Amino acid sequence: MNCRDFREWLAQGGALTGPAAEHLRTCRGCRAMIESLNPSSQVPDAQRLARLKERIGGATAAVRPLPSDRAISLIGLFVFLALSILLATAVGYQGFVRLTPVQRIGDYTAILVAAVLFSLAIVPEIVPGAKRRISPSALLIALLLLLPLTTMALFPNFSLVYFVRRGVPCLRFGLLCAAISAAAGYWLIRKGYASSPVRAGAIFGAFAGLVGVAALALHCPILNAAHIVTWHCGAVLIGALAGAGLGAFPAGNRNW
């Protein structure tokens, strides 16, 4: 008699004798089913309760609760602003000096809007059950469109003279800023629980790359749309890809 035959035997009202009794004696699953249908009224003794407690929570420890969703967003935005200004201070504000008032307002507003959206998007990535206000994929697509379109409108110069020679140092500095920002972001991730490490890594990596874009917007004096879109905004794309790759690596450790 197998498990299916045993269940059919019980459904027909058969007695637990003969082959049914022999199957019940050897099958742990069917015994558990019978016990669940006929729960014992006896209270577990203290020794059994102690063993259960040791198995379930013997190694657990109290943890400090996470900040509120709003506090996490504000922390992310504050870290973004602080790092952008500090990193640009280390190399100078030549770009800020060369911008016209209209260019300053347009460029820095677009970057700040992107930072606010990212600060909202990071909350559900580290707080399971938090309300998701922004789709991560839609955010990345919007960012990759917003920054280039704003740049092309504000800086209508598409010259490719010394394009690579002048662009590589900017990309290198942007990625350095992103790496420093990612270290701060890792501390924030460790405070929560990344239910989707790949998606969380992409969001945090792109956010870290945005710090490089902001620092370069203050530092770089090259007011060329092709240069800015390729070498400045490239830090966001590379940061997102690197973050997603790192998120895929520790697939079994959701808390990183």
For the chain, domain boundaries: 3-57, 69-248
Q: Binning pLDDT at 50, 70 and 90, where does residue 246 land?
A: confident
Residue 153 — pLDDT band, cuts 50, 70, 90?
A: very high
Q: Rounded mean pLDDT of the chain? A: 83
| Range with the poorest average pLDDT among 78-82, 119-123, 174-178 | 119-123
Query: What pLDDT is attached to residue 253?
Result: 47
pLDDT digits (tens, 9 = 90+) for 100-133: 999 999 999 999 999 999 998 888 888 877 777 7
pLDDT of residue 139: 83
Indicate whether this model's pTM tops 0.85.
no
Residue 195 burial (10 A CB sphere; 0-12, 13-18, 19+): middle
Confidence category of residue 53, pLDDT binned at 50, 70, 90: low
Q: What percent of the chain has pLDDT over 90?
A: 44
Give the separation between CA 78 and CA 76, rounded to whole angstroms: 6
Q: What is the pLDDT of residues 6-51, one digit of tens each?
A: 777 777 766 777 777 887 778 877 777 776 666 554 555 566 656 6
DSSP annotation string for the chain: --HHHHHHHHHTT--S-THHHHHHHH-HHHHHHHHHHS---PPPPHHHHHHHHHHHHTT----PPPPPHHHHHHHHHHHHHHHHHHHHHHH--HHHHHS-HHHHHHHHHHHHHHHHHHHHHTHHHHSTT----S-HHHHHHHHHHHHHHHHHHH------TTHHHHHHHHHHHHHHHHHHHHHHHHHHHHTS--SSHHHHHHHHHHHHHHHHHHHHHHH-----HHHIIIIITHHHHHHHHHHHHHHHTTTT-TT-
Are 211 and 177 in contact, with CB atoms under 8 Å apart? yes
Model confidence pLDDT, tens digit, residues 204-241: 999 999 999 999 999 999 999 999 999 999 999 999 99
**What is the structure's pLDDT at 252?**
43
Least confident of 147-156, 200-209, 247-256: 247-256
